[in-house]
Amino acid sequence: MRSCSKMEHYEQLIFRNATVFDGEAFIGARDVLVQDGRIAAVGASLDSPSSSPGDGESGPAPAREIDATGLWLCPGFIDLHCHLRDPGQTWKGDIASETRAAAAGGFTTVVCMPNTQPAIDTPSIAEYVREKALREGLARVSPAGALTRGREGLQLAELAGLYAAGCRIFTDDGADTLRPDVFLHAFEFLSMLPGARALIHTEVPELAHGVMHEGEVSARLGQSGIHHLSEDIASARAILTALAAGCPVLITHIASGVGTLPLVRYGKARAGAMGRPDLVAADCTFNHLLLTDEAVERYGTAAKINPPFRSEADRLALLEALADGTMDALVTDHAPHTFDEKSQELSAAPFGCVGFELMLGLLLGHIAGTQTPAGEITVERLLSLMTSGPARILGVGASLDSASSIAGKAGQDPPLQSQLSPAALADFQPVLIETSPGRIAAGLRADLCLIDPEARWTIDPQQLVGKSKNTPFGGWEAKGRVLMTVCGGRVTHDAL
């Protein structure tokens, strides 16, 4: 079922009669033809692939036709926030194992956080991740660069070098950047690099010494709490800094729905008034849509994550933000840890849980169709927050394939606003890491996933293909299963 031997490269792939979700909406039943790594055609009753002379022993396999009647064909999912644990913590997960898990969950592009060992704070570490992913990976991997050296919050990391090595997202994730002056300088620097964005794990460390949300449950359990002000104050700082510096920011894994989302809405309104609607964006994990701090009582360390599961009011506020458009993307914060690590007492166990293989099934099984004061959370909304939403944040469309395009000659959207002069950019040849388009249309990269929307299954952590199995969702019912994932025309997951 999950054997790698089936991950073949076909000369042509044709999906027959698939219910196509194009990144924004379902567009009806279509045939989709994949050839040379791209979507060659989308249409009704496309001709059968001509059996070309490539049936020899070597080279890609010949055409494969898939009857996709009743199945959804979606753009490959994009995750802006995950941990692959490579380099340095490969007993938890590595690029090969975790991109296999990503492919099994329908993901074709993942942005991995730089809190590795060593941190991704120099071009050589970013290159290590990029090259290993190209060699061993089953998804496109876009490494996020650290904002500061060693993620210590004191001195800027080699931001230009990291950018040149392909990083577009910059963060000290796992923690926030300590010094506000360094934080501002980092944002000012990034504002000069087209397509770069700060991703901020918003946390005031002095308010975040605990192991779970500070509230009634932490008091009852006698556990130290992480106050919601930790997130709210740090989010205000990140949003105001982004607006002041003209540097796009992504407020990531929001848990404090009640306190932080109004700040995001304020930031978006001001960014819009400035004519820079790209400046403020927000995401949350699917985990925080499903659980509250009571989960710590029920699931123990499996539900210890950072930021923590907060109150029911916070959870409802996050759901409303999905429906009203405040949220730009959904992320996994896939965070593998071993059984032994998670078997320690609550105060000692590490934060985090895995997510790649669970996100779709839990969202379709438990969140789709939810009513909020801002309206219903539709399937289309959920899927767009995993495809076109994150693609927009990665600036797909603003293709940066040469210094000349950085200097602004090529027509991109959104318009590149670099303060660097063309002369300063002349020697600057940044690597471009291809990411998924988050859409289905002829001509685009063939990054796709095929889903059985009616499949119902029970989550068994031991069945997960990633190296670690840490999740609070064992035994939960899920709906919708990824049957096949295609990345650049290559089949990266095949459960058909």
> Which sequence positions are flagged as catalytic?
333
Q: Closest residue to Zn ion, Cβ-based?
A: 201
Complex with Zn ion: residue 79 or 173, whichever CB lies closer: 173
Residues near Zn ion (CB under 5 A) are: 173, 201
Q: Which is nearer to Zn ion, 331 or 398 (CB)?
A: 331
Place of tokens 């991703």: 199
- Least distance between Zn ion and beta carbon 489 (Å): 33
Give least dist CB 181 to Zn ion, A.
Answer: 22
Nearest residue to 347 (alpha-carbon basis) of 174, 234, 218, 474 = 218
**In a 3-state reduction of DSSP, which class is residue 48?**
coil
Instruction: Choose between 288 and 479: whose C-beta lies nearer to Zn ion.
Output: 288
Residue 161's φ and ψ, nearest 5 degrees, are -65, -40
Structure token pair of residue 242: 């982004």
| CA–CA gap between residue 269 and residue 403 (Å, rounded) | 32
* Residue 350 beta carbon to Zn ion: minimum distance, rounded to whole angstroms: 12
Nearer residue to Zn ion within complex by CB, 151 or 168: 151
- Please report how close the Cβ of residue 471 comes to Zn ion at its closest, in angstroms: 17
Torsion of CA 455, 481, 326, 232, to 10 degrees: 110
Contacts of 466 (CB under 8 A, 6+ apart): 93, 97, 98, 100, 101, 334, 336, 354, 356, 357
103 vs 198 by CB, closer to Zn ion: 198
Residue 466 tokens, joined: 């990633």
Angle at 166 between CA 165 and CA 167, to 5 degrees: 105
Picking from 209, 140, 236, 212, the residue whose alpha carbon sits closest to that of residue 432 is 140
Least distance (Å) between residue 464 CB and Zn ion = 21
